[in-house]
Structure 1
Amino acid sequence: MDEDRIKQLLRREEGPKLDFKATLNLNTEGEKKELTKDVIAIANSRGGRGYILFGVQDKTKKLLGIDPVDFREEQIQQIIYNRSDPPVPVRVDFQEYRGVLLAVITIFKSSHKPHQMLQNGAFYIRRGSTTDVARRSEIAGMMQENGIVSYETVPLPRASMQDLDQELLQSYFSNLQVGGENPKEILMQVLGFAKKIDNDKLIPTIGAMLLFGYDPSLYLPQCYVNLTNDETVYHITGNLFSIVQRTCDLVRDMILDPHYPYAAIEEALGNALIHRDYLDISRGVHVDIKDNCIEISNPGALVAGNKSVKYMGDRNPERRNPWLYERLLIMEQGKRFINMGSGMSRMKEALSERGRIRFVNLGSKNLFKVILPR
């Protein structure tokens, strides 16, 4: 930490990864919990490192200064270690700035989210500049992104095996050979396509429904694409393959340009459907056909706060829904999903003569958008 870094932090407004505080009091258990709560919230929020800057008035950013006696690093780390699970790694720094001594607690980027408060079991995140209790879907999203749970292997109790397209399933299993009784039933469970519930009944998982379901939106209302062209809106449902095919066919009919690189649209749409945040049940994927561009947006910012520029150059990026992606590679015939890691670069290259393609990562809205030039 140095003066330049302090200057940069003071230029910013409070947000998910930055908090200004006038003082630090750790005399009571309540005050210790408040510090831990803020640290947990910043650690759980999207992005890289976070900072709590002490000795600064939060509204005006007036420099007040601190007493270094109140900031014993060993004590602060011990407080956080004993009250957070997993413990959040932090560092305490002092820096003089414009004749005033300030303290900074750096909260390092965590690969062990979600962190929770041990005393009450609560999970916290930052909503803008405010610390708040995380919602169930937000907790599940953090667990999925960090490999603690796999959303796709959760069973759908209201669904049945008859909701799955048996021809698609047979196509998937055609090259697999397993001996013994009921080999298909065994494979369905081993691959995470089905699970047995209390009465020993085999039911499909969310992942199986997305891949093989006749109409996944009956059980997963977020599984759809809304395609907008002028005032007309097309609501497209089905399994992932049928959604991509039907949407791309409609887009071709709307654009009517034989020289347009439609593979770029197909790639962007495939990415949006595979790597979207399915825990966000209030939104689907949206495709908006405009005069000068095509916008494809999906709920689910890049995993772990990755920046699109860094993601675009990564041949093996960190992906949301890796279970779904891996199974698609096995069954996919049209090769839409094979090279998702380099998809951004390929889209950029395919559209280079048309104009600049834009990737917009909106972490605060948990949204990712691709804007393709026409």
Structure 2
Amino acid sequence: MAIPTSIKTLLSGAVVEWARVEFKETWDAAASLKSICAFANDIDNWGGGYIVIGVQEDNGRPVYPLKGVSTDKLDAYQKNIFAKCKLLRPAYTPIIGIETYQDRQFIVIWCPGGDNRPYSSPKTMEKDNKERIHYIRKASNTVEPSDDEEKDLFNLANRVPFDDRVNHQAELADLNITLIQNYLKEIGSSLYEKSKTEDFTELCSDMNIISTLPEYVKPKNVGLMFFSMEPERFFPCTQIDIVQFPDGLGGDNIIENTFKGPIHQQLREALQFIKNSIITKKIMKSADKAEADWVFNYPYAALEEALANAVYHRAYDIREPIEVRVEKEMIEIVSFPGPDRSVTQEGLKRYRVSNRRYRNRRIGEILKELHLTEGRNTGFGKILRALEENGSPKPEFETDDAHSYFISRVFVHKAFLKNDEVDDKQKGAEKEPKKGAEKEPKKGAERKQDILYRMAENPAITQVKLMEEFGLTRKQVQRVIKELREAGLLEREGSNRSGKWIVKR
């Protein structure tokens, strides 16, 4: 059975992080069974991991020349792996493949995050051992969990991430073989050649994009997101909306473009549109040197990473699209909900984020295979570097206390602002009032009252609808809602998706 990536990818560490790969020169059940258990527990929702047998390692990196596994040991190793995995509780069987690289053979054990965690493994291989441990991964190590980590692991029981769940409304026919083959060919998987002759159900099973019960074959959500022609049939509003306001938020001219389809295709198409229609270059000559300088209104690399992160981290069970709002002075990328609770607002302001747990472990894995997103917690760094190299202002990242939304805000390069706009910004900064001295103008108070009346008329109205009707940004709408709630004039009943507003008179 083949693995859904290439051996070259695993050895390079360019896509699958080293923390998710363990190299072993030979099969050692006493050590490797614990790692299989840890990858299956997948406490941080990374997507499990891989054990590559036949590779000597030094500080977690492969040592060249590669040794490989001798042909006479391949069969015995595989049989022993299957036998020892029967010691895991509850039952868990990884996917084992034989891969050839540089004329040598390797055994790759793919251990996806399990559906029935927590899993335990015997502490030792001794016959009289009765102690079992719920092993977990910490960085690149397999360790015994602390008391708090073990509680956390039990809290995750039966909480399979949404992208890895079986979709009971879909059928196997909703998965498209052409999309699957294009993906396998692009990432260089050995499954590509097998896909031409292998049974379609077996192929999907090898990729772990369908349920594993032989009597009940259904696609998983991740399979439908990437390999269905119309994922919006199963996940409404799975799309990217690019909305341009060439005359400003108060203007009548609004240009909308919507991108649908498999999520990696819509991401690529939206990025191509941004590159062709949004990003522009300006050449500036200086009197003190012969060479001309040129800058972009927005560096493509920064927008690419911000939008890819939105696709990676959004919740696909929430019926809200990703929205890219192109205004005169900035681009806002809005997605729902916000980041994990471990991400703080203070951390966002300082650009220091360490996401403990990822919402979409399988989506992230496939996007990385396609080189559409960076590794763990590296997105902010890439955005900051791209903006700095272009001479652009620093970005803003925003969420609320409830972590109900996330905004990445990238500002236009000053060379693309009119002189009077630059002057106004500078004057505004000089005259910024001290804290506590701000007074809300009458216009703001009237607008707040109008929004309150609108909520009373339509308690189910969404923030997006309020933005459209009043020509406001999401941040402005959320600020008004927050002030109304603090004043005791407004309450929210129910969830963000199906709840309603209660206006108090």
What is the TM-score of this pair, normalised by structure 2? 0.41
Counterpart CA distance in 2 for 1:201 and 1:160 is 10
How many Å separate the matches in 1 of 2:184 and 2:397? 37
Say yes or no: does 1:347 pair with 2:361.
Answer: no
1:235 offset after TM fit, Å?
2.3
CA distance in 1, matches of 2:405, 2:150: 21
Partner of 1:248: 271
Deviation at 1:111, TM superposition (A): 7.1
How big is the shift at 1:308? 5.7
Assess, with a 3 A threshold, how the Cα gap between structure 1 residues 110 and 224 changes in structure 2: closer, same or farther. farther
Residue in 1 that maps onto 2:360? 321
Secondary structure at the aligned position of 1:318 is classed as coil
Residues 263 and 311, structure 2, Cα contact 8 Å, conserved in 1:
yes
Judging changes above 3 Å, is the alpha-carbon distance between structure 1 residues 111 and 269 closer, same or farther for their aligned structure 2 residues? farther
Separation in structure 2 between the aligned mates of residue 365 and residue 167 of structure 1, nearest angstrom = 38
Q: Aligned partner of 2:344: which letter? A: K
Report the equivalent of 1:188.
204
* Cα 1:283/1:291, change in 2 over 3 Å: same
Larger Rg: 2
Cα distance, 1:302 vs structure 2: 1.3
Do the aligned partners of 1:261 and 1:350 also contact (CA within 8 Å) in 2?
yes
CA deviation map 1:129-165 (0-9, x unaligned): xxxxxxxxxxxxxx6xx88312112233333333333
Measured in 2, the distance between the counterparts of 1:237 and 1:360 equals: 26
2:223 paired residue among 196, 208, 228: 208
Structure 1 202/110 Cα, relative in aligned 2: closer, same or farther at 3 Å? closer
2:177 counterpart residue number: 166
Distance 2:279 2:374 in 1: 27
Distance 1:193 1:270, change over 3 A: same
CA 1:203–1:349 in structure 2 vs 1: closer, same or farther (change >3 Å)?
A: same
State which drifts further: 267-276 or 242-251. Answer: 242-251
Matched, 1:291 2:307: no
In the TM superposition, what are the counterparts of 1:89-168 in structure 2 within 5 Å?
112=152, 148-168=159-179
3-state DSSP of counterpart to 2:397: strand
Provide the rounded CA distance (Å) in 1 between the counterparts of 2:401 and 2:151. 17
Structure 1 residue 277 corresponds to structure 2 residue 315: yes
Q: CA offsets, 1:86-123, max 9 Å, x none?
A: xxxxxxxxxxxxxxxxxxxxxx99974998xxxxxxxx
Q: Retained in 2: the 8 A contact 1:193–1:204?
A: yes
**Do the aligned residues in 2 keep the contact of 1:313 with 1:345 (CA within 8 Å)?**
no
Alpha-carbon distance, 1:171 to partner: 3.6
CA contact (8 A) 1:195 1:204 kept: yes
What one-letter code is carried by the residue in structure 1 that aligns with 2:313? H
Shift of 1:299: 0.3
Q: Does the residue aligned with 1:341 lie in a helix, a strand or coil?
A: coil
Deviation at 1:370, TM superposition (A): 0.2
Q: CA deviation at 1:242?
A: 1.4
Distance 2:202 2:231 in 1: 23
- The one-letter code matched in structure 2 to 1:342 is T
Corresponding residue pairs, total: 233
State the alpha-carbon separation in 1 of the partners of residues 353 and 274 from structure 2: 29
With over 3 angstroms needed to count, the CA separation of the structure-2 counterparts of 1:109 and 1:150, relative to structure 1, is closer
List gaps (5 residues or longer) in structure 1.
1-107, 116-142
Q: Secondary structure at the match of 1:366?
A: coil
Closer/same/farther in 2, CA of residues 366 and 263 from structure 1, 3 Å limit: same
* Contact 2:322-2:333 within 8 A present in 1 as well: yes
How much is the aligned-residue C-alpha RMSD, in angstroms? 3.3
Q: In the alignment, does 2:190 pair up with 1:176?
A: yes
Q: What amino acid is aligned across from residue 264 of structure 2 in structure 1?
A: F
Q: Which residue is 2:373 aligned to?
A: 337
Gaps in structure 2 of 5+ consecutive residues: 1-147, 246-253, 282-295, 413-505
Q: CA deviation at 1:226?
A: 1.6
Asked if the contact 2:279–2:300 (Cα under 8 Å) also holds between the matched residues in 1, the reply is no
| C-alpha distance in 2 between matches for 1:214 and 1:109 | 40
Matched to 1:339, the amino acid is G
* Kept after mapping to 1: 8 A contact 2:331/2:409: yes
Name the SS of the counterpart of 2:277 in structure 1.
helix
Structure 1 window deviating more from structure 2 (232-241 vs 169-178): it is: 169-178
Contact 1:271-1:340 at 8 Å conserved across structures: no
In the alignment, is the contact (CA less than 8 A) between 1:273 and 1:285 conserved in 2? yes
Give the aligned residue type for 1:176. Answer: S
Q: Who is 1:264 aligned against?
A: 302
Name the CA shift for 1:150/1:183 in 2 (closer, same or farther; >3 Å): farther
Q: Does 1:302 align with 2:339?
A: yes
Question: How far does residue 249 in structure 1 lie from its aligned partner after superposition?
Answer: 2.3
Q: The residue matched to 2:201 in structure 1 has which SS?
A: helix
